[in-house]
Amino acid sequence: YQRRVHGKCNGTIASNAALVGVLNGATLQPPIDVVVCPTALHIDSVRAQLKHEGISVGAQNCVVKSGAFTGEMSAEQVADFGLKWVILGHSERRHVFGETNEVVGQKVAAAIAAGLTVIACVGETLDEREAGRTMDVCIEHLKAVADNCSDWKKVVVAYEPVWAIGTGKTATPAQAEEVHAGIRDWLGKNVSPEVAAETRIVYGGSVTEKNAAELYGQPNVNGFLVGGASLKPAFLDICAAANKCK
């Protein structure tokens, strides 16, 4: 069972310290897996303060290689820093910074080669959903990951409908399950039945402590990629949803 959290471009030293204090006191029942991904500036301080053995620290992004890429950090550098996780292909990286499927695929290959586990994001915009292209878009994103994946044990797929991120709108449990089931079906037919069965598919899009349990109760929803709610103590209530389902 999975729980993921990332802080977007949010947080200060003081607010992070307060949240880490809450996390350190959390009671998490295995096999819940929690990863916090603060901004690059805050990774070191969060990791130093985080004492909970059941919570890891990851990065929000990386580039393929070290070199003349001012302002970036490479997959090798993330691994060298002692981190095990990285989020790649987030919708904001795609739509704000123009990352293509090709770029995301290259990053996935580099991250896995560096020994990182990738949280690979897929998901459609509102226009794409209304045009009936939800699965087409998600599969296009997923195929770029599959074409560059050398080890599926190093990949968690995160379905994040762009129209539900930070908007207060959430995919219904049925909508989330439909896409998650479609992703698993594609993996089974195009990668292998084993990969389809074992790959964790998490949901991201205005997840809160109020809707987590119902979403997590869906057969193919294996956890969450949490944005805004991860900055609040109620995040632990989202983690606790795993103890009530499945």
Per-residue pLDDT at 2 exceeds 80 = no
Residue 75's nearest CA partner among 60, 83, 65, 85 is 65
Structure tokens at 52: 């909970």
Lookup result for tokens 């802080």 = 7
Report percent pLDDT > 70 for the chain. 93
CB count within 10 Å of CB 98 equals: 8
**Could you tell me which residue, 214 or 170, shows the higher pLDDT?**
214
Of 8-17, 70-79, 218-227, where does mean pLDDT reach its minimum?
8-17
- Render pLDDT for 90-136 as a digit per residue (tens, 0 to 9): 999 999 999 999 999 999 999 999 999 999 999 999 999 999 999 99
Which value, to the nearest 10 degrees, does the dihedral of the CA atoms of residues 101, 151, 87, 40 take? -120
C-alpha radius of gyration, the chain, whole number: 17
pLDDT of residue 209: 87
- Render pLDDT for 152-169 as a digit per residue (tens, 0 to 9): 999 999 999 999 887 777
Which value, to the nearest 10 degrees, does the dihedral of the CA atoms of residues 231, 237, 238, 240 take? 140
- Render pLDDT for 180-212 as a digit per residue (tens, 0 to 9): 999 999 999 999 999 999 999 999 988 888 899
Q: Which residues are catalytic?
A: 90, 160
Per-residue pLDDT at 143 exceeds 50 = yes
pLDDT of residue 1: 47
DSSP 3-state assignment of 66?
coil
